[in-house]
Structure 1
């Protein structure tokens, strides 16, 4: 397996995972597996949620692909790398930045990350199985990017000019 092929498979898998996560979230987690995902939509005092089982499922799939992937010699090893990379980004963006489950990354002033946070907050406006919107993680609807830009411009205009 060439390095370019391995990189291409990893990148394609990472990109596909955004679609897969959206699909699974909208049609499976808010569908037949709501009994697991519901824990993510309600406030609770526990540090772990039933919804965290999805991390274990995808981690297990990724690990199986690593173990059987001949240490990078088989194409599916690199699929496992793509799944693991997406899961890592998902953890830091969704659990750490958006939900603050670990308190080392404070809210960002980055326009894209603020837009992503707004979209996710829209998703959580409902605590029920139905009526949610914005099921993806990394793809952000242009309307939220525009809102984040507008907020940043308002904040900038309202800030006192300390350069004088």
Structure 2
């Protein structure tokens, strides 16, 4: 029992470093995703405080952290699947990271347009929307609610 209690910290650190070394190849994609998520979070909080006059709540920060962790785990699992199943045709983790980053970049442009009213952000949002729709067939603009009372 004494050996276990004195070496548990070293064992946990060794396992954590082994996982980080295994996933070192995806760090660039993960860093880009985190930066875009952080900018979207900052722009979203500023837009809600300044334009929508909402009170600041930490819930938005925790939701953003949860999303960042979730997309990181998703990309890491795709990387592990590609690597361990010898799938060399296409890097699915890069495609997923690109799509996730594109979605949060679109959200950032939408928040910045709401915040500043700058035409450039509306143009960027429209460009990203058309690019995603042409590539995937998915329209990022929410459909109007047909059941909504007017």
> Which structure has the bigger radius of gyration?
2
What's the TM-score, normalizing by structure 1?
0.33
Q: Which structure dedicates a bigger proportion of its chain to helix?
A: 2
